[in-house]
Structure 1
């Protein structure tokens, strides 16, 4: 079974292992139509009792929200309205990937920034290319964190390191991500390695382990925290300092 568009392709690789390849413009920038397409792909996967999901992309995994689109929306007095078409859908996807009763494996190259890091945080295994890096950018742009930076990342690496990362707006390299436990493997061919991790293992056992860790209580707590991120994003998006931050962020790119 295969489903394709200009934004992503969805293929049943074998025996219930699904492959979602992201291919949206501007390094998979999280725009409304793209997020809706991912949500529809998850709808399809969830009807099939999947045994695993592998997510791949191009030379950059995901650049997060499109700052230029947010900038234009805020200048037009539509900042919150545009955020409402982006942030809650991203949060839903992060929650659904975490709750999916099957292992989620991502293969990432290059940049993974802002809210796009939610895919990494929600994955069970991650294979990254040596060029891979992660950076929040919130402190520079002025947005409130989304995509699980405060809701899910502390579950992965602890509250203190998560907060320090956000406050420093640090760029974490391939080696850093390995040390933090956010990447399980480094490979020059991360896509092939990601699929190979699902060979010769009992996928039902992996799914059982995941559902025991992410039980109803823990998922409910994650849902509350993701909703809190969303509300904080709405409060920050129309602030004057956020507009100033977006302007400064975009100016070098425009120049």
Structure 2
């Protein structure tokens, strides 16, 4: 299975190898390069990427790095820190993506896999999907932004409990906490995630990117600053081709056709 593929306006990125869903440096570099290129695209181009779909290679989404390699490294500090920095080079453009990101999360999302799933906008899991920090189990602290993302999603107190007790979160809990968007039958995870990504990719790409940007800055903004940013953003949307199509469709009492 290739690391990267295009399905119309959907960019598909495989983020793990093998049945267990192992993350490695070579794979991360390919995905990182593809995500970085999104920043330079014209979102209104019919050929632009409109959504990113992250998926695994087998029955699990991703269970993190190869722990045996960690143990075998002569310079464990340097090796593990270097891998974390490579991982973070992927997380940065994922978090800053100008288009929506979707994770197809069958089986386990543990360690780095959980960090990746939490960094995506939307996640589809199966009835048997589980997430677990996993870092304390090998005597590590988290990477991948988990200590930043998780408390913003579930609150500081619940994040402390999950991380300090290395809690295993089942599908029902993941839905209740908002860590997954949908739970479907295990066999339907990939298909439902694909459908969700394609729907987003046909939507107003520039506007959805602006929504992501506004949401990302809200934690560091005052209400006055956010209102100013919203006014500027909605004005830019109104002046663009997506706004033009949306208003025309409304006037003509039809569904908008942003991107086929």
The TM-score normalised by the length of structure 1 is 0.74
Tell me the equivalent position of 1:152: 149
Q: Which moved more, 1:98-107 or 1:145-154?
A: 145-154
Q: Secondary structure at the match of 2:143?
A: coil
**Rg comparison, structure with higher value:** 2
Whole-Å Cα distance in 2 between the matches of residues 216 and 181 of structure 1?
18
Whole-Å Cα distance in 2 between the matches of residues 212 and 168 of structure 1?
33
Whole-Å Cα distance in 2 between the matches of residues 162 and 204 of structure 1?
33
Q: Secondary structure at the match of 2:146?
A: coil
How far 1:17 moved relative to its partner? 2.1
Tell me the equivalent position of 1:60: 60
1:178 aligns with 2:172: no
- Structural mapping, 1:170-209, within 5 Å: 170-188=167-185, 189-197=188-196, 198-199=198-199, 201-209=203-211
Change (3 A) 1:116 1:80: same
Q: Which moved more, 1:206-215 or 1:41-50?
A: 41-50
**Do 1:102 and 1:203's aligned partners in 2 also have CA atoms closer than 8 Å?**
yes
CA root-mean-square deviation: 2.3
2:23 to 12, 23, 30: 30
Tell me the equivalent position of 1:12: 6
**Do 1:115 and 1:146's aligned partners in 2 also have CA atoms closer than 8 Å?**
yes
Structure 1 unmatched ranges of 5 or more: 1-5, 219-255
Q: Secondary structure at the match of 1:19?
A: strand
Equivalenced residue count is 209
Change (3 A) 1:33 1:163: same
**Do 1:35 and 1:86's aligned partners in 2 also have CA atoms closer than 8 Å?**
no
Tell me the equivalent position of 2:130: 133
How far 1:46 moved relative to its partner? 4.1
